[in-house]
Amino acid sequence: MDIWSKLPGQESARQRSKIRDHSAEANLFLRRAVVAFVGILVLVVILLATLGHLQISRFGYYSTRSNENRINVIPIPPNRGIIYDRNHIPLAINNTIYKLEIIPDKIKNLNEQLEELKTIVDLTDEEIDIFQKERRNYRSYSPVPLKAKLTEQQIAQFVVNQHRFPFVSISGEQHRYYPYGATLTHILGYVSKINDQDKARLIADQRLNEYVGTSNIGKLGIERFYESTLHGMPGYEEVEVDSRGRIVRQLDQYPPQVGQDIYLSIDLKLQQYIEKLLNGRRAAVVALDPNNGEVLALVSSPSYDPNLFVGGISGTDYNALLTNPNKPLFNRAMQGTYPPASTVKPFIAAAALTEGVITRNTVIHDVGWWQLPNTDKRYRDWKRWGHGRVDVIRSIESSVDTFYYQIAYDMGIDRLSKWMTEFGFGDRTGIDISQSEESRAIMPNREWKFQRYEQSWLQGDTIPVGIGQGYWTATPLQMANALTILINNGKSYTPHILLNTKSSVIGPEVPEISVPMESTLLNTVDAKSWQAAKEGMYKVLYGSLGTARHVFAKTPYQAAGKSGTAQVYGLKADEVYDANNIPEHLRDHALFIAYAPYDKPKIAIAIVLENGGSGSTNGGAVARRILDYYLLGDESVTTDASILKMRLGD
């Protein structure tokens, strides 16, 4: 045996050589290579199939998604229709303003950028708070207004620093502007930012898509009532944008449909004159054309500037309006409810004549008071020593209370209430901005008292209703409307502010839209009864005993009217009213209704001067000046200066 064969290492190597199977190893490698090849082949097939699916089957879908990232559709809000007065003077127009917009969803450090913008564009904390609230009303990745009404200096400062704010931009938009400020607020209303309630209403009406890109909507008055007419329809433009959302080029554009213009029956010059006459005192005046129901003027004083609300009013300004003791937000002409006082006597006289309760020859002897039968209750006349012998014409001329206490007693509340309802009291007139802006006021009856107080109607409740007091209240608009019914011998025209609308689009003419005038006829009243009421009103101004004869002396035209003085609080049995010894807010209201010319009326007015004292003197003085201005066109035509002084808290 070879000595080397006995070595341990050589023996082990030989043994391993005998055990190793090279053929098996080759087969194993081959199998692994085949599996790897098949795996790679399957993956390639899957890859090719996926590419085919994406590039062929789903090409349209992913192409659209790609374009959505590259192409933006930007809504173009329509220009709002212009509002004009009857003489084509623009009352509400559109100005271009510049605002700062931001896309908050694309900014990681939003709060930091807002802080930086404070010093650049004078951004306030209040504006930031409003922006954070408004974000919820906008779609994701849509620009949200941050600051409106940028000044030239603010625009310049931002442009210099714009490179620091890739997703902030300046855009121009049409901004509603009211050139006559507070003069027409209670007629026009205003537009302001769309809030959650507005959005819910638009969704319910299926009109939300019409407001894409629009931030404001009509809130009150004409702006709200004719919102669908004024607003128009939005358009849009397709633009290509880069990775930062900046516009590269415009691809296509679809212009918006502008809103229709509106023409109102309001006479701006008359409206301005009345406001100047009232001089900010608490009062309301309504002037109608009795021939068709057109509203010539509707003044509620004091008023407020609607431009404060466009784009959102500040908390400070709004709180100042809310806390103002003169309540400028309150529309006294349509929502103010006052005892109509003696202004209703002509209406009651016409009803009593028709019912046969009185005749033209009925006479009572007024001793200064009237006593309820079978009681000790006495109701005083305004003239403590009485008027002596009084017929129906004299009762209106001298405003004799006792005459109407007797009528109220004889007619009873059922007939009295029914007749005054026919004159429009106790219900909305239907004026075309009424919706939630007009009060029904109160024409009391048995049912009303029971529902309100759960008490039965008493006979003593009826008596003060006969002189427009007690539970009875009315708005100045209702008083003017009732007067037009009397003027027209029972024919009633629905008061309206809209004359017509007209599209400002160049192209096919859009039909003009006119307000329908609903008319009814109180045909149960004969001509003689109407004439008696009018004759009494004529003598109020020109009769030897007329309550307003001094105010209307020597007018170059003939008119008719009726004064009223409404008590704000009840006097005790022996108490004497003395305006100088009571607080201003407890003084009587001064009321006056009038129309002119007497034979062919062109204007009917109703006036309420809160805490204004005597209706015949102070209310009559205002009525005289309005009629002088409207009929004669001369602001200098006045009556005696001492008569024109109104005691309205001076």
Contact present, 216 and 191 (Cβ < 8 Å): yes
Closest CA to 386 of 402, 363, 375: 402
> Residue 303 region, left (φ>0) first, then alpha (ψ -120 to 50), else beta?
beta
- The length of the chain, given as a count of residues: 650
C-alpha distances out from residue 38 to 14, 28, 31, 32, 44, Å: 39, 15, 11, 10, 10
Closest CA to 354 of 528, 217, 180, 557: 528
The C-alpha atoms of residue 542 and residue 553 are separated, in whole angstroms, by 7
Contact present, 274 and 303 (Cβ < 8 Å): no
Give the count of beta carbons closer than 10 Å to the beta carbon of residue 327.
16
Catalytic residues: 342
Give the count of beta carbons closer than 10 Å to the beta carbon of residue 438.
21
**3-state class of 498 per DSSP?**
strand
Q: Angle 345-355/527-542 helices, nearest 10 degrees?
A: 150
The C-alpha atoms of residue 484 and residue 530 are separated, in whole angstroms, by 12
- Residue listed under structure tokens 């213009």: 261
For 396, the enclosing helix (H) or strand (E) is helix 392-397
What is the dihedral angle through the alpha carbons of 470, 474, 476, 481, rounded to the nearest 10 degrees? -130
C-alpha distances out from residue 133 to 113, 211, 269, Å: 17, 19, 41
Which residues are paired to 371 by β-bridges? 378
**Positive or negative: CA dihedral 307, 311, 317, 319:** positive
Tell me the two tokens of residue 82: 């212009």
| Backbone φ and ψ of 119, nearest 5° | -80, -20
The C-alpha atoms of residue 168 and residue 372 are separated, in whole angstroms, by 78
- Residue listed under structure tokens 């789903």: 58
What is the dihedral angle through the alpha carbons of 377, 381, 385, 386, rounded to the nearest 10 degrees? -110
Closest CA to 218 of 74, 83, 75, 76: 83
For 127, the enclosing helix (H) or strand (E) is helix 125-134
The C-alpha atoms of residue 483 and residue 193 are separated, in whole angstroms, by 39
Contact present, 563 and 543 (Cβ < 8 Å): no
Contact present, 378 and 370 (Cβ < 8 Å): yes
Identity of the amino acid at 503 = S
The C-alpha atoms of residue 446 and residue 466 are separated, in whole angstroms, by 15
The C-alpha atoms of residue 388 and residue 27 are separated, in whole angstroms, by 141
Tell me the two tokens of residue 61: 């879908």
How does DSSP assign 319-380, residue by residue?
HHHHH-TT-TTS-TTTT--B--GGGGHHHHHHHHHHHTS--TT--EEE-SEEE-TTSS-EEE
